Amino acid sequence: MKDSLAVLTDSAGWLATFAAEHSLEPLPGVSPDDVTAFPFVLAVIDGKLSLKQTGAGSAGPVYVDFTAGASDHRRKFGGGKGQQIAKAVGVRGSFLPHVVDATAGLGRDAFVFASLGCRVTMLERNPVVHRLLADGLQRLQQCDDPELAAIGARMTLEQGGEQGGEQGGEQGGARDWLESCAADSCDVIYLDPMFPSREKSAKVKKDMVAFHHVVGMDEDADDLLPAALQACIYRVVVKRPKGAPHLAGKAPALELKGKSNRFDIYTKKALPKG
């Protein structure tokens, strides 16, 4: 990561410290459009911490914004409690589980859970993605819309789910965090590890190339499942591409299948009646 990502330190005072902590190249006084020696930059762009690919023809920046765009559209028109993802984590009636999203990424699914009324604890190992998520969460919690701010108040980003170091591998920080939990202490644990696509048609969207480059693939994600099963009360839910193998080679008790993804559900205890 340190050879491909630079930090534009003039865009926010704390970014110089962040660059030093993670051995990233600081670039003071430089515009993202002028960077040529690094394929990606981290900078504050239009008030949002952003990860941007450099070079001619590159896509726009990747950032976390829960107050507009796809996240807000999904909140309003995504189907509410009728969505498969809601059914997978056990949202029904008045029962709203506390969900630990152990591979939070950009927080998109975590925001869905919180918008349904669930309390959500997010873990994210990669330090760059962790900072992107923290920035988006802060803006959500401080926004003027009371409904959105209330959703943000139900979302917590744990520092314990972050680790420095090389790209890839969600399991280090998240696994350690889960293993530190008392047995049967988390209602539902949700896992969505990065999975390498083998389908030529399933190309990564251009604006997500930077994100996938920084995060890498979770080749060690199998290690998360035993820790999650130990820590959960009711179930572990694993989101997978439709044709992907089961995590850790373990068949789930239930599956919910969609057009391109499925939810593998590992049950431990019956859900309360809602």
The reply to whether 147 sits in an annotated binding site is no
The reply to whether 158 sits in an annotated binding site is no
Query: Tokens in use for 150?
Result: 């209330």
Q: In which order are the strands placed within the sheet that holds 5-7? A: 25-26, 5-7, 40-45, 48-53
Query: CA 32 to CA 7: how far, in whole Å?
Result: 10
Number of helices (H) and strands (E) in the chain: give both, helices first: 9, 11
The reply to whether 108 sits in an annotated binding site is yes
The reply to whether 139 sits in an annotated binding site is no
Residue type, 103: T
* DSSP H or E stretch at residue 224: helix 224-231
How large is the greatest C-alpha to C-alpha distance in the chain, in angstroms? 58
3-state secondary structure of 244: coil
The reply to whether 125 sits in an annotated binding site is yes
Annotated binding site for S-adenosyl-L-methionine: 108-109, 124-125, 192
The annotated binding site is made up of 108-109, 124-125, 192
